[in-house]
Structure 1
């Protein structure tokens, strides 16, 4: 299978749309490849040609959202005032709030371990690059940027998972401010 073939691209696009539609209303662990194939209008064998399992498909379908989260987190100015949420962080939490049900299912106990791991990994990479390139908050110079990034990525993923577990989740701006205050403790 040639991934550049327009037919393969259309199939993958339909499969991504189908899994996101199903994952928005059901736990990923309960979704079968047959259901995805039926909703996407493709043969079940086609699903397996592109993805080995539901987790891989979900993770692929959520890649754009994860990229947006990682880029928003990395754009936060480390020296912003403690009581003013940086605009990228506010935007990140609003994005998650708009799709809270999907994130709840993806990061919840029955969610996709592959998705949660990929989210942490992508956040860690983006944050590590940012921490290496820019000045970090005071007091962190002795911590390697990769370790600092992994810590922040795990914390952000954990806060998002905890936050969206409530239905409906608390206000995005309030949660973003709470996270920012954890990130920027009082001197």
Structure 2
């Protein structure tokens, strides 16, 4: 990618992330983003079709920058390595809870929620294929099992973010793991 384009995208992503920490997503306009990023409106549209796609990209980038990218699960040779990755991801969600509550909550971004669920599904599929899974051995298609896991993980994350006070990331991941495996 052209370094200038990458720099502009980073400015836009930083701007939307900061704005999402401060205000309701429905109130954030392209003008707000471009003013915060110090770029013009046409520059925004050279890189993004809408604010929601920009937000989804910003969330992905922030997770990766925080070493909290769930895609790392796909590379885990040992199934026990899954839990620490999920804890890091949930810690990242907690650190930026205001942004994620707005992005994934009832008035949030369908693009961000769909992208998170899709990323979780791809990760679950890769993990299932690498390590096997009892439901797959029983004949359930990998895609169905992965969709169920992705929906559960996303659902737990969203419900946990809405809690006040919000329990620790370890507690939330423990709940999710118990839900998925039946093990406490």
Structures share a fold, TM > 0.5?
yes
Please say if residues 69 and 123 of structure 1, whose CA atoms lie closer than 8 Å, have aligned partners that are also in contact.
Answer: no
Distance 2:102 2:85 in 1: 24
Distance 1:149 1:97 in 2: 24
Q: What is the number of equivalent residue pairs in this alignment? A: 177
TM-score, normalised via structure 2 length: 0.86
Counterpart position of 1:179: 176
Specify every segment of 5 or more residues in structure 1 that has no aligned partner in the other structure, as ranges: none
Counterpart position of 2:118: 121
Query: 2:35 aligned with 1:38, yes or no?
Result: yes
Structure number with the higher helix fraction is 2
Specify every segment of 5 or more residues in structure 2 that has no aligned partner in the other structure, as ranges: none
Cα RMSD, aligned residues only: 2.1
Query: 2:159 aligned with 1:162, yes or no?
Result: yes
Deviation, 1:64, is 2.9
Q: Structure 1's 105 and 77: CA in aligned 2 closer, same or farther, altered over 3 A? A: farther
Query: 2:145 aligned with 1:151, yes or no?
Result: no
What SS class does the counterpart of residue 62 from structure 1 fall into? helix
Please say if residues 73 and 127 of structure 2, whose CA atoms lie closer than 8 Å, have aligned partners that are also in contact.
Answer: no
Distance 1:53 1:174 in 2: 35
Deviation, 1:94, is 1.7
Counterpart position of 1:15: 12
Query: Once superposed, which parts of structure 1, at least 4 consecutive aligned residues long, lie more than 4 Å away?
Result: 72-78
What SS class does the counterpart of residue 169 from structure 1 fall into? coil
What SS class does the counterpart of residue 91 from structure 1 fall into? helix
TM-score, normalised via structure 1 length: 0.85
Compare relative contact order (CA 8 Å, sep 6+) and give the higher one, 1 or 2. Answer: 1
Query: 2:103 aligned with 1:99, yes or no?
Result: no
Distance 1:96 1:51 in 2: 24
Please say if residues 100 and 169 of structure 1, whose CA atoms lie closer than 8 Å, have aligned partners that are also in contact.
Answer: no
Tell me the alpha carbon deviations over residues 104-124 of structure 1, each in whole angstroms, 9 at most, x when there is no partner.
111011111000001111111
